[in-house]
């Protein structure tokens, strides 16, 4: 009976430790144990090591997306939190970097929408205000013309 308890507890401990190595800021990163290290693929056999305690730099995400697009793979939809950093410059040397078909991904679930509801109310108020001023101005001109006769 003690052996079974030991086996169950060790299996539970192994299962729990296997779940501890994950990247909270980038769910689709590949993580490996001993020691825990998470990476994303940004080129042919070129992995970018991530610091999962911080937001993922935007250029790492863009490199991974461009690599996936070049390979004809589906690009990841629904972006992860990212930060703008200067620490992700690539050692390209004199190599020219060409971008094709640049797509904009939004961090939010859906793209921002712009409606004319609020400006429409403001425009209507301005038109009504100008109409009232025109009527008052016309009445003043009419009264002053009639008064001079």
pLDDT of residue 60: 87
pLDDT in tens, 30-46: 999 888 999 999 888 89
Residue 68 burial by CB count (10 A; 0-12/13-18/19+): exposed, middle or buried? middle
Q: Are 96 and 66 in contact (CB under 8 A)?
A: no
How big is the chain by its Cα radius of gyration, in Å? 31
Query: Cα 100–102–105 angle (5° rounding)?
Result: 155
DSSP code, position 79: P
pLDDT higher than threshold 90 for residue 131: yes
Q: What does the pLDDT look like over 72-100, one tens digit per residue?
A: 887 765 444 454 444 455 555 555 556 66
Taking the domains of the chain in order of start, what are their residue ranges? 2-112, 114-149
- Minimum mean pLDDT range among 37-41, 112-116, 123-127: 112-116
Rounded to 5 degrees, what are φ and ψ at 110? -135, 155
């Amino acid at each position: 009976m003690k052996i079974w308890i030991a086996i169950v507890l060790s299996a539970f401990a192994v299962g729990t430790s296997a779940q501890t190595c994950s990247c909270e800021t980038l769910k689709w990163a590949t993580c490996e144990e001993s020691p825990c290290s998470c990476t994303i693929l940004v080129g042919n056999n070129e992995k970018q090591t991530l610091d999962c305690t911080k937001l993922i730099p935007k250029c790492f995400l863009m490199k991974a997306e461009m690599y996936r697009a070049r390979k004809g793979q589906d690009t990841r939809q629904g972006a992860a939190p990212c930060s703008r950093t200067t620490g992700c410059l690539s050692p390209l040397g004199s190599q020219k970097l060409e971008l094709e078909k640049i797509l904009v991904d939004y961090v939010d679930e859906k793209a921002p929408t712009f409606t004319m509801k609020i400006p429409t109310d403001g425009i209507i108020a301005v038109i009504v205000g100008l109409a009232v001023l025109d009527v008052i101005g016309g009445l003043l001109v009419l009264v002053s013309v009639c008064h001079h006769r």
